[in-house]
Amino acid sequence: MLLRKHRRVMGIRERREREKEERRLHIIDAAEKVFFSKGYSDATMDQIAQEAELSRGTLYLYFKGKDAVHREIVSRGMNMLYDLISARIGEASMGMDRLAIIWSTFIRFSKEHTDYFDAFMHYETKEIDISSEKEMENWLNRYKVIGLTVRSIREGILDGSIRPDIDPSTLALLFWTQVTGAIQLIRFKGALIKNLLKIQPDEFLEHFRKFVFEHIRLQGQHQLKEA
C-alpha cells in the first residue's frame, strides 16, 4: 500500500513537472511571435502574456523579465543552428573542411532564419555576469556551436590542415567574429556595396570566406574543399 501511495505521489509530481515545462515552452512560443513581429525594444511582458493567454503574474512565475525570455529564444536558435551543423559536419574528414561547413551553414541559417540571427546579434550586445556560475553555464550551453568550432580547429591542427600557432579557442572566437561581421555588413550595407562597389552580396561573402580561410589554413598543406 505504501508503494502504491509512493507511486501515486510520484505520478502527480511528474505530471505537474511536465505541465510546468509545457507551459514554459508555450510562453517561449508566444514570446517568439511578439519579439519577431515587434523587435526586442518594442516588445513587452504584457504583450507576451496576452499572446500566451496568461496573466502577467503567471508569466513572472516562469521568467524574471524580458531578458530571461529572450535568452530562451537565443538558446532555441542556437540549438537549431547546432543541429544543422551537426547533420553536415560528418561529411568532412579534415578540420579545415569542417570549418567550411560551419561557415556555409551559418550563412544559410542567417538568410533562412533572420529572426533568430537578429536575436543572436541582440544578445551579443548584452554583458554577461562572469561572477555568476549559472550565467556562465547558460552561455556555454547557448554557444555550444563555438565548442564544435574549437574541436574542428583542434582536429585541423592534428591533421595538418590548420595552422598550429594560434590557440584553438582564440581562433574559434576570431572565426565567429569574422563570419557574423560579414553577415551583418551584407544585411545592413548590402545595397551600398552592390551599387557603389558593383559587388553582389554573395560574391562579397565568397571573397571574404577565401580571405579568412587563407589565413587559417596551414600554408601548402591543404586546399579547402567547396562547402
Tens of pLDDT, residue by residue over 169-213, are 999 989 999 999 999 999 888 888 888 888 898 999 999 999 999
pLDDT for 57 equals 93
Measure the CA–CA gap between 87 and 93, rounded to whole angstroms: 14
Do 55 and 80 belong to one domain? no
Q: Does 118 share its domain with 177?
A: yes
Same domain, residue pair 139 and 39: no
Domain end: 63, 86, 108, which one?
63
* Last residue within a domain, chosen from 12, 34, 63: 63
- Give pLDDT, residue 222: 47
Average pLDDT of the chain? 87
9, 39, 63: which is the final residue of a domain? Answer: 63
Comparing 85-89, 92-96, 141-145, 185-189, the range with the smallest average pLDDT is 141-145
pTM for the full predicted model: 0.83
Whether 27 contacts 52, CB under 8 Å: yes
Residues 56, 148 share a domain: no
Structural domains in the chain (count): 2
Q: Kindly state the average pLDDT of the residues 101-105.
A: 96
Regarding whether 52 and 10 lie in a shared domain, the answer is yes
Q: Are residues 54 and 103 in the same domain?
A: no
Confidence at residue 224, expressed as pLDDT on a 0 to 100 scale:
47
CATH of the domain at 37: 1.10.10.60
Enclosing domain of residue 74: 65-227
The CATH number of the domain holding residue 114 is: 1.10.357.10
